[in-house]
Amino acid sequence: MSNATWIVVAGEGRARVFKSGGELSSLQQVDDFYNENHSATTLTEKQAIAFSESERKEKERDKFASTIAAYVEEGRLHESFARLKIIAEPKFLGMLLSYLSEQTKKLVFEKVSKDYSSLSDKEVEEILKRG
């Protein structure tokens, strides 16, 4: 098993996964996800008519959270990390956590309710260094 730490920095439109071998100064980006449906919708016309605009956005946000959680679960199953830190917009953080298995939740050592998803990699790294 890797003793790496994964740091998930996410919001409803973008999520990035960083890896640290120990010191947060050595961050490497593992993956970068964009919610293609953040401003559009993948619902069928019939579904779109049935839901209000806020309900549609909520469903798209929920789908994206599910996608990110599945990726993190795969990482755990492949023993890609030993610890997990999640920094996400408050509502998205709750959605993301709801999709993680109990085994993965046990690896979460810190949860931060902030939306840093639009920041550059360098800005994220600086924030993480400050603690």
pLDDT tens sequence across 4-17: 999 999 998 999 99
pLDDT tens sequence across 20-54: 876 545 788 999 999 876 544 445 566 556 666 67
Q: Where are the beta strands (DSSP E) in 1-131?
A: 5-10, 14-20, 27-34, 83-88, 108-113
Question: Domain residues of the chain, as ranges?
Answer: 5-124
- Do residues 71 and 96 touch, judged by C-beta distance below 8 A? no
Task: Assign a CATH topology to domain 5-124.
Answer: Nucleotidyltransferase; domain 5 (3.30.420)
pLDDT tens sequence across 115-129: 999 999 889 988 888
Rounded CA-CA distance 119/60 in Å is 22
Rounded CA-CA distance 32/7 in Å is 12
